[in-house]
């Protein structure tokens, strides 16, 4: 994986540097008509700071799985058996975000195409939804399936108890930060000034994961199935053991990669310039990409058939894909000074 990250980062860096070195190597050559000796960029001789409001989307595939075992729920109680069926799945998370970006651009370089270097950083708020990655059953609080009028007179078995199941969820957390550096190439089209901006960048974000397992174990009737879970019904009386396990974990992930923006100047108000831009980035996530978490509970011998001492355990895993995609559009306000 490290080799893949290094190759991606190297390619992005070389793309930016190669563009600068190639045009610098031709700086002494005679310029053609379409490469002017002076550009029409606003603030071309100045360091230009800017602030932007950016809205966008991130997209990434997430995998998850859930499993649970019990030692003592089945006889003989010598090896763990499945408490709930294991399940795995995935979801492609798409999360909207909005934030601010600061950028600083150099004066134009006195070489063909008049490029400008830039560096910047951004902070955003993401609005992630709770994604179910894997689930079985209908996990919740264990409860009777009977209406209130039948609670005291009708038996029900452990397969009929409501709230049984397992699942694992994940959610993109609010804070999203990043940084970028690149080179801006000016372009005039249909009377408007554009900038094509390849860059290399970094992103940091956080994901929270939640897992839950719930299962009903009930008293055996006559020492063999069926079971009775209703404590109000004789003979028995019935006994319900509600097993409810849950856990939460979170992880912070970093990605590096390359991007490309297209920016267009749209207005000029004295020393201020306004521009619209859109673009996209691809990031390779660095380091560990898994969240693995666990919960368990032990139960004493209840003294009723089928409900002896038991130890339960649940495990959940969430793994993010090695690639994250980000797209955005925004409005930039720049201090370009007075001509």
Per-residue pLDDT reduced to its tens digit, 79-99 = 899 999 999 999 999 999 999
Q: What is the DSSP letter of 148?
A: G
pLDDT confidence band for 3 (50 / 70 / 90):
very low
Strands (E), 270-305: 272-285, 290-299
| Cα 201 from Cα 69, distance rounded (Å) | 44
What pLDDT does 237 receive?
Answer: 82
pLDDT classification of 38: cutoffs 50, 70, 90 = low
Query: pLDDT value at position 148?
Result: 78
159 vs 10, more confident: 159
Q: Is 282 part of a structural domain of the chain?
A: yes
Mean pLDDT of the 321-326 span: 98
Is the residue at 231 inside a domain? Answer: no
In a domain, 146, yes or no: no
Taking the CA atoms of residue 327, residue 333, residue 337 and residue 339 in that order, the dihedral angle to the nearest 10 degrees is: 80
Examine residue 322 and state whether it is found in any structural domain, yes or no. yes
Distance CA 191, CA 12 (A): 31
Q: 262 with 222: CB under 8 angstroms?
A: no
Q: How many domains does the chain have?
A: 1
Q: What is the pLDDT of residue 236?
A: 65
User: By residue range, what is the domain housing residue 59?
Assistant: 2-23+46-140+166-212+243-335
Which H/E stretch holds residue 4?
Answer: helix 2-25
pLDDT at 24: 42
Arithmetic mean of pLDDT, 271-288 = 96
| Residue 134's CATH number | 2.40.160
Tokens of 48: 């230009």
Compute φ and ψ for 49, nearest 5 degrees: -85, 155
In a domain, 35, yes or no: no
What integer is the mean pLDDT of 64-75? Answer: 91
Domain assignment present for 132:
yes
What per-residue confidence (pLDDT) applies to 294? 98
What DSSP string describes 5-73? HHHHHHHHHHHHHHHHHHHHHTTTSPP-TTS-SS---TTTTS-EEEEEEEEEEEEEEEEEEEEEEEESS
C-alpha 19/C-alpha 22 separation (Å) is 5
Tokens of 84: 């709930």
- Model confidence at 223, pLDDT cuts 50, 70, 90, reads low
In DSSP terms, which residues pair with 53 in a beta bridge? 100, 331
- From 63-72, 124-133, 301-310, the region with the lowest mean pLDDT: 301-310
pLDDT at 7 exceeding the cut of 90? no
pLDDT band at 9 (very low <50, low <70, confident <90, very high): very low
Q: Which of 3-7, 256-260, 319-323 has the lowest mean pLDDT?
A: 3-7
Looking at the DSSP bridge assignments, the partners of residue 230 are none
**pLDDT for residue 5 is more than 60:** no
pLDDT (0 to 100) of residue 233: 79
Q: Would 145 be classed as within a structural domain?
A: no
Non-local (6+) Cβ contacts of 101 within 8 A are: 51, 52, 53, 54, 120, 121, 122, 330, 332
Mean pLDDT, residues 194-213? 98
List, in order, residues 6 or more apart from 24 with CB less than 8 Å away.
109, 111
- DSSP result, 230-256: -TTSTTTT--EEEEEEEEEEEEEEEEE
Report yes or no on 17 lying in a domain: yes
Angstrom distances, CA of residue 69 to CA of 74, 157, 301: 11, 20, 18
**What's the pLDDT score for residue 83?**
95
């Amino acid at each position: 994986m490290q080799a893949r990250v290094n190759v991606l980062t190297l390619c992005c860096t070389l793309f930016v540097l190669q563009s600068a070195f190639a045009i610098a190597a031709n700086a002494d050559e005679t310029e053609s008509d379409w490469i002017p000796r002076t550009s029409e960029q606003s603030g071309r001789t100045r360091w230009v700071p800017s602030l932007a409001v950016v809205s966008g989307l991130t997209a990434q595939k997430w995998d998850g799985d859930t499993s649970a075992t019990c030692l003592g729920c089945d006889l003989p109680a010598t090896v763990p058996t499945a408490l709930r069926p294991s399940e795995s799945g995935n979801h492609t998370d798409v999360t909207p975000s909005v934030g601010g970006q600061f950028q600083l651009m150099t004066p134009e370089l006195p070489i063909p195409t008049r490029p400008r270097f830039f560096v910047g950083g951004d902070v955003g708020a993401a609005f992630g939804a709770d994604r179910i990655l894997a689930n079985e059953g209908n996990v919740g609080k264990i409860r009777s399936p009977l209406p209130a009028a039948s609670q005291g007179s009708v038996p029900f078995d452990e397969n009929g108890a409501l709230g049984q199941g397992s699942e694992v969820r994940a959610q993109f957390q609010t804070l999203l930060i990043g940084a970028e550096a690149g080179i801006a190439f000016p372009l005039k089209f249909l009377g408007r000034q554009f900038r094509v901006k390849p860059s290399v960048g970094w992103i940091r974000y956080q994901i929270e994961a939640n897992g839950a397992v719930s299962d009903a174990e009930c008293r055996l009737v006559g020492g063999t199935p069926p079971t009775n879970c209703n404590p109000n019904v004789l003979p028995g009386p019935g006994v319900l053991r509600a097993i409810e396990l849950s856990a939460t974990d979170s992880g912070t992930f970093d990605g590096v990669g390359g991007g490309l923006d297209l920016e267009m100047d749209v207005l000029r108000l004295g020393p201020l310039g306004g521009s619209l831009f859109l673009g996209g980035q691809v990031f390779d996530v660095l380091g560990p990409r898994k969240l693995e978490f666990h919960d368990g509970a032990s139960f004493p011998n209840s003294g009723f058939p089928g409900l002896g001492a038991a130890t339960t355990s649940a495990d959940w895993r969430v793994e993010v894909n090695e690639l994250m995609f980000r797209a955005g559009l925004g409005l930039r306000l720049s201090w370009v000074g007075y001509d």
